Amino acid sequence: MNMEFSGKVAMVTGGASGIGEAATRAFAKAGAKVVFTYISSAKEAKALEAEIKAAGGDALAIKADLTKKSDADAAFDAAVKAFGTVDIVFTNAGGILQRVKNIDATEDLWQRVLALNVTSTFLTCQAAIRIMEPKKSGVIVTMSSLAAMSGGGPGASHYAASKGAIVTYTRGLAKELGPSGIRVNGVAPGLIATRFHEQFNTPEGRKAAVAQTPLGREGTAEDVANLVLFLASEKASFITGETVQINGGTGMY
């Protein structure tokens, strides 16, 4: 069994479903103590926490609205109280909320999407840095999207803009935190077979995307989780400031 992260504490935001759930499971399987947040998936979160513990691992599920500083800080305080520190953070939480043409988008939707994706990432990273900087070590992996490079699909310009901001924020953080021994990278998934695309895409749209994908399939949440674990590992010790695309070759952006 690969216990590469034994002795490490990993925080996964939005870790009860989709890519976040896959990352939570992967970190736990690799020996990490895992703290993961959720907002609406309480049943799934508690079941995942119990499953990891039953398998001999350590896990803590925390309900947190990471668009609020108080919730972000409280989540990290709970992680430190439970496990002593936080070594790795995957800022997975986010979403699109709805697809809408730019001309029809409301200011409220724009602000909520920016808060859900950008503000939550900022507040999560800020809370993590308070723990990581004093010990001069840590890894942050952010969540962007193929949309950041492509501009997004129909009705997704607001989402694409928020994910583009995360790419730039990742670079800025990497420059700022490198001297403190903290690496910051991101992942930018394309079409991944999760609830996100069941809700915000169509079967026809998914088939069309696969037809344009050189590897000829949708990605899986586990594909992305494997990349996150690589970036969090010592194998990636000289990589920082990068956002790695994982999309089967779509677009070659």
Say if 86 falls within a structural domain.
yes
Say if 53 falls within a structural domain.
yes
> Span 165-172, mean pLDDT?
98
Say if 2 falls within a structural domain.
no
Examine the pLDDT at 202 and tell me if it is beyond 80: no
Instruction: Give the pLDDT score at 205.
Output: 74
Beta bridge pairs of residue 140: 89, 184
CA separation for the pair 111, 105 (Å, rounded): 11
Say if 234 falls within a structural domain.
yes
Instruction: Give the pLDDT score at 170.
Output: 98
159 is catalytic: yes
**How many distinct structural domains can be found in the chain?**
1
* Residue type at 97 in one-letter notation: L
Say if 180 falls within a structural domain.
yes
Distance of CA 197 to the CA centre of its chain: 16
Instruction: Give the pLDDT score at 8.
Output: 98
Owning domain of residue 81: 9-245
- Tens digit of pLDDT for each residue in 212-233? 899 999 999 999 999 999 999 9
Say if 3 falls within a structural domain.
no
Of 67, 37, 250, the C-alpha closest to 146 is 250
Q: At what angle do helices 120-135 and 69-83 cross, to 10 degrees?
A: 40
Catalytic residue among 38, 159, 169, 253: 159
Mean pLDDT, the chain, rounded, equals 95
> Looking at residue 77, which CATH number applies to its domain?
3.40.50.720
Confidence band, pLDDT 50/70/90 cuts, at residue 199: low
